[in-house]
Homo-oligomer: A and B are copies of this chain.
Amino acid sequence: MNAIAQNDIPALMADIGRRAKAAAAELAQAPTEAKNAALLAAARALRDQANAIQEANAIDMAAGAQKGLSKALLDRLMLDPGRIEAMARGLEDVAALPDPVGTVLARWDRPNGLEISRVRVPLGVIGVIYESRPNVTADAGALCLKAGNAAILRGGSESFHSSGAIMEALARGLTEAGITPDALQRVPTRDRAAVGEMLTMTDTIDVIVPRGGKSLIARVTNDSKVPLFKHLDGICHTYVDAGADPDMARRIVVNAKMRRTGICGATETVLVDSAVAASHLPGILDDLIAAGCEVRGDTETAALDNRVVPATEEDWGTEYLDAIVSVKVVDGVIDAIDHIARHGSQHTEAIITNDAQAAETFLNRVDSAILLHNASTQFADGGEFGMGAEIGISTGKLHARGPVGVEQLTSFKYQVRGTGQCRP
Using CB atoms and an 8 Å cutoff, list the residues of chain A in contact with chain B. 25, 28-29, 108, 110, 114, 116, 121, 123-124, 202, 206-207, 221-222, 225, 227, 245, 248, 251-252, 255-256, 259, 341, 359, 363-365, 367-376, 378-379, 384-386, 396-399, 401-402, 411-423
Q: Is the CB of B413 within 8 A of A369?
A: yes
Instruction: State whether A379 touches B413 (Cβ < 8 A).
Output: no
Least CB separation from A24: chain B residue: B367
Are A419 and B374 neighbours in the complex by a CB distance under 8 Å? yes
Tell me if B251 and A364 are in contact (CB < 8 A): no
Interface of A is mostly: mixed
Number of copies: 2
A365: chain B residues at CB < 8 Å are 28-29
Chain B residue at minimum C-beta to C-beta distance from A385? B116
* Contact indicator A399/B401 (Cβ below 8 Å): no
Partner of A418, one of B245, B374, B412: B374
Q: Are A373 and B423 in contact (CB under 8 A)?
A: no
Q: How far is the CB of A285 from chain B (nearest CB, A)?
A: 18
| Shortest Cβ gap from A29 to chain B (Å) | 7
Contact B398 A207 (CB under 8 A): yes
Q: A110-B384, A365-B29, A379-B421 are in contact. Are A398 and B373 (CB under 8 A)?
A: no
Complex contacts, A372 vs chain B, CB 8 Å: 416-418
C-alpha spacing A197/B216, complex, angstroms: 25
* Sample (12) of A-B pairs whose CB atoms are under 8 Å apart: A29-B365, A110-B385, A114-B384, A206-B397, A245-B420, A251-B420, A256-B422, A367-B413, A374-B421, A375-B420, A401-B412, A401-B414
- Flag if A397 contacts B248 (CB, 8 Å): no
Expressed in whole angstroms, the minimum distance between the Cβ of A413 and any Cβ of chain B is 6
Contact (Cβ within 8 A) B25 A367: yes
Pick from B25, B110, B402, B416: contact of A341, CB below 8 A: B25
Is there an interface contact between A414 and B385, defined as CB atoms closer than 8 Å? yes
On whether the beta carbons of B370 and A413 are closer than 8 Å, the reply is yes
Q: A252, A370, A418 — which one has the most chain B CB atoms within 10 A of its CB?
A: A418
Query: Is there contact, CB below 8 Å, between B114 and A375?
Result: yes
CB contact under 8 A between A397 and B415, given known A259-B423, A379-B421: no
Q: How far is the CA of A371 from the CA of B117 in the complex (A)?
A: 10
With A123-B397, A401-B412, A411-B397 given, is the CB distance from A376 to B421 under 8 Å?
A: yes
Most buried by B among A396, A419, A423: A423
Scoring A206, A259, A385, A420 by chain B CB atoms within 10 A of each residue's CB, the highest score goes to A420
Known A123-B398, A259-B422, A401-B414; further 12 A-B contacts with Cβ < 8 A: A116-B386, A245-B420, A248-B420, A369-B413, A370-B414, A371-B414, A372-B417, A374-B421, A375-B421, A385-B414, A397-B411, A401-B411
